[in-house]
């Protein structure tokens, strides 16, 4: 069974304090690993797709990386507006669905 585990559950940072969020996964065949941002009471907002180990993608202060067992979301010099829950999900090559982790709640204080 495909599984996604995210850590930490919650993370508090000061504005400008860089850090990383972890997503460990097990999947029999990876079609893609996805990062989403979710604000309270809202739907997941797509950030990145990673397809193979070694791949990296960047968007503003966010950078996602992928190995065969985990993915990291690096946040460089975060701002308060980066506060949200960050979700990781995988899609198996044999299925048409996303399997989500429980997310990391990020709070960035000014």
Residues that bind other proteins (CB under 8 A): 31-32, 34, 36, 41-46, 49, 87, 89, 91, 95-103
CB of 29 to other proteins, least distance (A): 15
Cβ atoms 33, 49 nearer than 8 A:
yes
Rounded to a whole number of angstroms, the CA Rg of the chain reads: 13
Q: Residue 84: which of 59, 105, 102 has the closest Cα?
A: 105
| Of residues 20 and 102, the one with the C-beta less far from other proteins | 102
Q: Residue 88: which of 75, 74, 77, 72 has the closest Cα?
A: 72
| Of residues 41 and 110, the one with the C-beta less far from other proteins | 41
3-state secondary structure of 82: helix
CB of 17 to other proteins, least distance (A): 27
| Of residues 72 and 100, the one with the C-beta less far from other proteins | 100
| Of residues 33 and 108, the one with the C-beta less far from other proteins | 33
CB of 38 to other proteins, least distance (A): 8
What is the Cα–Cα distance from 110 to 101, expressed in whole angstroms?
28
CB of 16 to other proteins, least distance (A): 30
């Amino acid at each position: 069974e495909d599984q996604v585990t995210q850590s930490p559950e919650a993370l508090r940072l000061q504005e400008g304090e860089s850090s990383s969020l972890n997503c460990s996964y097990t999947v029999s065949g990876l079609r893609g690993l996805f990062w989403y941002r979710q604000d309270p009471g809202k739907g997941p907002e797509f950030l990145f797709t990673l397809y193979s180990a070694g791949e990296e993608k960047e968007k503003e202060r966010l950078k996602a990386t992928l190995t065969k067992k985990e993915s990291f979301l690096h946040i460089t010099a975060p701002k308060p507006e980066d506060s949200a829950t960050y979700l990781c999900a995988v899609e198996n090559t044999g299925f048409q669905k996303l399997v989500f982790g429980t997310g990391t709640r990020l709070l960035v204080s000014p």
